[in-house]
Amino acid sequence: MSKKLSRRRLGRPRLLIVGCGDVGTRCLRILSTRWRVFATTSQPSRRSELRDGGAVPLLADLDRPATLARLAGLASRVLHLAPPPAAGEGDPRTLALLRALRRGAWRRSPARAAGWSAKPAILPEQDDKRPGRRPARPALVYASTSGVYGDRAGARLRESHPVRPQTARARRRVAAERAVRGFGRDSGWRASIVRIPGIYAENRLPLARLAKGTPALAPQDDVYTNHIHALDLARTMVAALFRGRAQRVVHASDDTEMRMADYFDLVADRRGLPRPPRLSRAQLREAVAPNLLSFMSESRRLENTRLKRELRLRLRYPTVASFFDA
Domain assignment present for residue 246? The answer is yes
Split into its structural domains, the chain has a count of 1
Domain assignment present for residue 218? The answer is no
Domain assignment present for residue 222? The answer is no
Low-confidence ranges of the chain (pLDDT < 70): 1-10, 104-135
Whole-structure pTM value: 0.89
Name the phi and psi angles at 167, rounded to 5. Answer: -130, 160
DSSP 46: G
The backbone region for 153, taken as left when phi is positive above 0, alpha when psi lies in -120 to 50, beta otherwise, is left
| Inter-residue contact 310 to 223 (CB < 8 Å) | no
Domain assignment present for residue 159? The answer is yes
Domain assignment present for residue 13? The answer is yes
CATH value at residue 162: 3.40.50.720
Residue 124 belongs to domain spanning: 9-204+227-256+301-317
Domain assignment present for residue 199? The answer is yes
For 151-193, the three-class secondary structure string (H helix, E strand, C coil) is CCCCCEECCCCCCCCCCHHHHHHHHHHHHHHHHHHHHCCEEEE
Which of 157, 308, 154, 184 lies closest to 243 in space, CA to CA?
308
Q: What is the DSSP string of 104-122?
A: HHHSS---TTTT--SS-TT
Domain assignment present for residue 109? The answer is yes
CA distance 178 to 68: 21
Domain assignment present for residue 214? The answer is no
State pLDDT tens for residues 42-87.
Answer: 999 999 999 999 999 999 999 999 999 999 999 999 999 999 999 9
Cα 174 to Cα 121, 296, 299: the distances in Å are 32, 20, 18
Q: What's the pLDDT at 6?
A: 53
| Inter-residue contact 164 to 269 (CB < 8 Å) | no
State pLDDT tens for residues 99-113.
Answer: 999 986 544 443 333
Strand duo 278-279 + 77-80: pairing: unpaired
